[in-house]
Amino acid sequence: MKIAVIGQSLFGQEVYKELVKEGHQIVGVFTIPDKDGKADPLATEAEKDGVPVFKFPRWRLKGKAIPEVVDQYKAVGAELNVMPFCSQFIPMEVIDFPKHGSIIYHPSLLPRHRGASAINWTLIHGDKKGGFTLFWADDGLDTGPILLQRECNVEPNDTVNTIYNRFLFPEGVKGTVEAVRLIEQGQAPRITQPEDGATYEGIQKKENAKINWDQPAEVLHNWIRGNDKVPGAWAEVDGQKVTFYGSSMMDTTTVPDGQSLEIPGASKPGLVTKNGLVLFGNDGKMLLVKNLQFDDGKMIAASQYFHSGDSASVELTDQEKRFAEELRAIWKGILTNVDVIEHSTDFFKSGAASMDVVRLVEEVKLKGAGLQIQNEDVYMATTFQEFVQMLVRKLRGEDAEGELQVDYVEMNVNNMTVKMPHQLFINGQFVDAEGGKTYQTINPTDGTAICNVSLAQVSDVDKAVAAAKEAFENGEWGKMNARDRGRLIYRLADLMEENQEELATIEAIDSGAVYTLALKTHVGMSIQTFRYFAGWCDKIQGSTIPINQARPNRNLTFTRREPIGVCGIVIPWNYPLMMLAWKAAACLAAGNTVVLKPAQVTPLTAIKFAELTARAGFPRGVINILPGAGSLVGQRLSDHPDVRKIGFTGSTPIGKQIMKSCAVSNVKKVSLELGGKSPLIIFSDCDMDKAVRMGMSSVFFNKGENCIAAGRLFVEESIHDAFVRRVVEEVKKMKIGDPLDRSTDHGPQNHKAHLEKLIQYSQTGVKEGAHLVYGGKQVDRPGFFFEPTIFTNVEDHMYIAKEESFGPIMIISRFEDGDIDGVLKRANDTEFGLASGVFTKDINKALYVSEKLQAGTVFINTYNKTDVASPFGGFKQSGFGKDLGEEALNEYLKTKAVTIEY
């Protein structure tokens, strides 16, 4: 169809782009005039495509259409007018001209909230449902017939921004395009709007936004969030007009500590706390306000009400001074009436308006290496010096007092208070996911929710990759010498050690790891890994190579070992912190930057690790942590053209998909540690006590959630029955219980879905005819506990003989006495090749078997003995590439050959 787009803003721009993709001919774009020489985004996009753009200041004069304006519109020959966020009054001569008429997007469920402040009123009225409408324009005000509607839930702490970004914008664009599609197909309905339930509220104005304190807390919250950001709900405090921003309901009845603030008309004084200003409704319930703005335009964090002028100045580095001069030039370009931008120059007192705020924010984003800045930041730092100081602190990841800004979830557990960040970590800052999306992470000990964690979206991945790329190519990290890089990694390891009890506690409650094991292995080996690779930073070197000389000249050829760039790392849930360390330590030591996705079910130690990296002084953008779904975050990392390496630990099917995506996207380097079905061969000449002890460990270590767990034990016939009897005796002694109890041997499985998989796995083994000697079912208690399980008489064709359980299930098969080659053939009859083991006192037999076993790691008379200096990785469909040891560095380096003629 031939379409005229009449509207403005980023929303109008996105609708325009999608209509073009649909194959429609945009015959004209009608938008608002340029402001301060800057075109509306819709106009900019259309002009790039060579589409005629019209910027009429008005369409009507004294209530009548302007003939020359209408004539210019008609000349484009539109068959349909699409009006996304149209703020101008369009005359009926234009509305009715196209043969298909005109459709308008409106951000409410008409007939409710007709008028210009629909989103605000949705929140002010406390509506539980919101949404948008595409309707046929008529001569009323949002009264035309309905074509299409979509609704969404309004969350208790939604703001205009969150509901717009989460639903009204993205789904509104799709809905508008769908409406056009229905019109083209001749299937667009015209549903008359009912008057029943119709409401009309005018534009909210500042004078009408005063807060009436004699109301319940939820009503106060709705009023404040509904008026945020424009016009702003206000009240008299200390004799001046104060506007309140960033309201949220508090879900606790415990009144926090804070400094009392008298508020005329309120049922109780407010409380200035470290988290903001606590306000009370007449029902005694509480709400929290984050920011306050005064009559002169100055905005402060509500927590700083009594200390707003106390923060010390930051001493700028040379690089920060250069950045300050760039900011001065931006201010001068906006405040053209000011001759010189002094420290004391006030942005608003110098004549700046709201559009200037938008311009300032956008220009700072362009100059600030991915610096995230919002409009309210300008209002909170109105003088040039305050503005510079504020941005420098942001660049350093600090708040007004010089501290990293962290929104903790605190929990009193394990005789300590653990403080857990729960947001994404991008470019040195903790931030919410796009659209405020979150999910609950669950404590496997009792199945209860620990906290809400930010759920990364594709746009968050793009932001993190951009930050990592900037840090690598232009930031301090890319310029840092290797020894200083090592010093930073050592400092990080020291911080991890200082916080090891807290890290281990978080690991226990989020993954179910027994605390003592988490302290020793999950956290302890992580610290060792970072220390080991910190020592490698200044020892990465190439070599000189003798080549044929080009006589009469001579040549020097040498190799350089260089970092790859932005590396995506995707880790599993069984050792959340240790798997992070195994990959990230080598990656950072090589000089790369990292975007890491922890497992969705165990994100908390990775996010806590992010906090420690900031406190250790890692430059912004070097390390980014994105909890979220693998199908979205992991896939986007694999597909992203700016990611140059993927390191993945997980299942073989997902590894194959990642490998394919890495090839298709940009042939990025990839290393994979995938599934396993590791064989353990126990010969009759073994040390039986050690074989039983280590055999138990090979299967039940970390609840069996261990990538190298012995997936199948082959026990020589003459000792089979004795071995099984001894193992059963030992298993019966294992204490199953709370992982924080120091006497617990066996904690809960990681998550519910995995528990259910283990139950099904055991049921399959029984159906196939294997002998269930012990266990095989869920423990009768809250949480995701599964009994240590033992199967014997397992034959080679059985499902449980071939497939990995990844749980505490021991699979035992016999082999004939002396049949070494026979048992080797059976052990190697698998597509996996991660680890293996052999127990025998015969050194010749041990070496022969170790040579023939097709696995990346072979343990002899021991098991699970991994070390940071020893390379780790698999063969066949267990993947390729190495973690740990010097070889791990090769995964994160590229080799460049340089030849000089002299």
Known binding positions for NADP(+): 571-573, 597-600, 630-635, 650-651, 757, 804-806
User: Strand, helix or coil at 278?
Assistant: strand
Residue with the two structure tokens 């912190």: 577
The neighbouring-strand residues paired with 896 are 560
Whole-Å CA distances, 455 to 173, 276, 441, 620: 22, 25, 11, 21
Tokens of 319: 């690089």
Residue 134 near residue 101, CB atoms below 8 Å: no
| Residue 707 falls in the annotated catalytic set | yes
User: Strand, helix or coil at 659?
Assistant: helix
Residue of 673, 716, 787, 891 with catalytic role: 673
Binding residues for (6R)-10-formyltetrahydrofolate: 88-90, 142
CA distance linking residue 772 with residue 289, whole number of Å: 59
Helices (H), 78-212: 92-95, 118-124, 160-163, 170-184
Tokens of 723: 């071995």
| CA-based nearest residue to 369, from 622, 19, 558 | 622
Residue of 106, 113, 422, 751 with catalytic role: 106
The neighbouring-strand residues paired with 561 are 895
CA distance linking residue 872 with residue 882, whole number of Å: 5
CA distance linking residue 440 with residue 433, whole number of Å: 14
| 96-104 CB contacts, 8 Å cutoff, 24+ apart | 97/73, 98/4, 100/1, 100/183, 101/136, 101/137, 102/6, 102/136, 102/137, 103/134, 103/135, 103/136, 103/137, 103/147, 103/176, 103/179, 103/180, 103/183, 104/134, 104/135, 104/136, 104/137, 104/142, 104/144
The neighbouring-strand residues paired with 736 are 746
CA distance linking residue 355 with residue 720, whole number of Å: 81
Residue 166 near residue 437, CB atoms below 8 Å: yes
Residue 287 near residue 247, CB atoms below 8 Å: yes
Amino acid at 815: F
CA distance linking residue 606 with residue 598, whole number of Å: 6
Torsion of CA 831, 836, 842, 843, to 10 degrees: 100
| CA-based nearest residue to 650, from 623, 679, 670, 636 | 670
Q: List the end-to-end C-alpha distance of the chain, in Å, as a whole number.
A: 68
Residue of 24, 707, 716, 720 with catalytic role: 707
User: Strand, helix or coil at 859?
Assistant: strand
Binding residues: 88-90, 142, 571-573, 597-600, 630-635, 650-651, 757, 804-806
CA distance linking residue 159 with residue 227, whole number of Å: 9
Tokens of 187: 């299937």
Residue 762 near residue 777, CB atoms below 8 Å: yes
Question: Active-site residues: which are they?
Answer: 106, 673, 707
